[in-house]
Amino acid sequence: MSFESLILLTPWSFIIPTIVTHLDVTSPNQDDPTDVSDLSWTHHLHVYAFPPLSSVTIRPGEPSPPPHSAVHVKTLDLPRFLVDIRRMIPPPRLSIRADPPPRTNPPTHPEGQVAPFQPLPESGIYIVDVYCQMPDSMPHYQIFLEKATLSQYLPSPDSGLLRTAFPRPAVPISWADLAPKVRMWGPDLDPPCKSHIGSR
């Protein structure tokens, strides 16, 4: 999977818009690198989270805070876009931004205490920019999600799941389930969102 940007969801979680390349393992053309008929691409938002630093137990002699890895919490499927390498139509590019952007207060807090997270994760929206790379044009779509929509997929900050790797990949949220909670703008796009974009 590849990505170009990431953004905070809460002080202990973040989102990465990703493009995932799939290989058809049943294809007879796998040994031919010039044949792309066995490849396909999908687009997703991956949500990762850390245990909050305030919940980490500090033990004598260990680094403070102790190192730990982000846990893959959810995969949110985005709509399928037209990709046709033979016609010079590569997968669309993705980027993500927030309005207002997540930030902390100026460092006026007492030493040793983390600054409050402002604005709250529940306020504002995320904007996913989708740049299609067509041979004769560059259609641009925007997907708008409330921060509260994404934060509802996070486990509790004290969840044990954030301290151990998931035993299986995170369960995906399909575009059909996500679409009623978001808005999507773009050329020739009639509501509700089409399930396959860029086919015109």
- Give the pLDDT of residue 177: 94
Range of the domain at 53: 2-163+170-197
pTM confidence score: 0.74
Q: Give the residue from 19, 23, 7 showing the smallest Cα distance to 124.
A: 7
pLDDT band at 200 (very low <50, low <70, confident <90, very high): very low
Q: Give the residue from 103, 92, 94, 96 showing the smallest Cα distance to 125.
A: 96
Q: Give the residue from 145, 2, 22, 4 showing the smallest Cα distance to 83.
A: 22
Measure the CA–CA gap between 166 and 59, rounded to whole angstroms: 25
pLDDT band at 156 (very low <50, low <70, confident <90, very high): confident
Q: Domain count for the chain, please give it.
A: 1
Residue 152 pLDDT exceeds 80: yes
- DSSP percent split of the chain into helix, strand, coil, nearest 5: 10, 35, 55
pLDDT band at 153 (very low <50, low <70, confident <90, very high): confident
pLDDT digit string (tens) for 12-60?
889 999 999 888 877 777 677 777 778 888 999 999 888 766 666 777 8
pLDDT digit string (tens) for 92-120?
999 998 887 655 545 556 666 666 555 55
